[in-house]
Amino acid sequence: MRVSTKGRYATRIMIYLAIHGVKKPVRKKEVAKAEGLSADYVEQILTKLKTANLVHSQRGKHGGFILAKNAANISVKDIIEATEGPIILVDCASEKCGRSSYCVSSEIWNEASLAVNKIFSNYTLTELAKKSEKKNSANALSFEI
């Protein structure tokens, strides 16, 4: 399994919204500039996140995007699945495989898929936003006289 740029960027966008979109909606152009992405690509990703009910959009002068629910209730798994689909390492880790009833290796793929899902489920936007703020403050320039 390989998480595409869409899944990785969606996670970055959601962290940005968790930090900057708490009090007011954030425009896609602001997110794009802050994350070094094209506004069109940000819009594509936000559309998928909106379809998955992870973000809301507001129109108008003070419009933009905002989290649809508390950041503590949004996991990386939610974000990846919204943009990439179900997290399954190989097709035989799903019911699609006709050999799963007698194939010994399917157990490995199922176990690995469950482990990846668990890891992605364990990380919430709240945790990632806190880590991001901490890293950014540690990297901020400090001038003393």
Q: What is the pLDDT of residue 125?
A: 95
pLDDT tens profile 6-54: 999 999 999 999 999 788 899 999 999 999 999 999 999 999 999 999 9
What pTM value is reported for the model? Answer: 0.85
Task: Name which of 31-35, 71-75, 99-103 the model is least confident about.
Answer: 99-103
Closest CA to 54 of 128, 124, 127, 132: 124
Closest CA to 116 of 69, 64, 77: 77
Mean pLDDT of the chain: 88
Runs of H (alpha helix) within the chain: 5-20, 28-35, 39-51, 76-84, 105-122, 125-139
Could you tell me the residue ranges of all domains in the chain?
Answer: 5-130
Q: What is the pLDDT of residue 54?
A: 97
Residue 67 predicted with pLDDT over 90: yes
Residue 145: band (very low, low, confident or very high) from pLDDT cuts 50, 70, 90 = low
Give the whole-angstrom CA distance, residue 130 versus residue 103.
43
Q: What's the token pair of residue 50? A: 């909106």
Closest CA to 130 of 8, 6, 18: 18
Give the whole-angstrom CA distance, residue 94 versus residue 86.
10
Q: Where are the beta strands (DSSP E) in the chain?
A: 55-58, 64-67
* Main-chain phi, psi angles of 26, to 5 degrees: -115, 135
* Identity of the residue numbered 1: M
Cα-based distances in Å from 2 to 8, 108, 142: 10, 18, 38
Do 25 and 58 contact (CB within 8 A), yes or no? yes
pLDDT (average), residues 68-90: 93
Q: Answer with the residue of higher pLDDT: 42 or 108.
A: 42
Please state which CATH class domain 5-130 belongs to.
Answer: mainly alpha
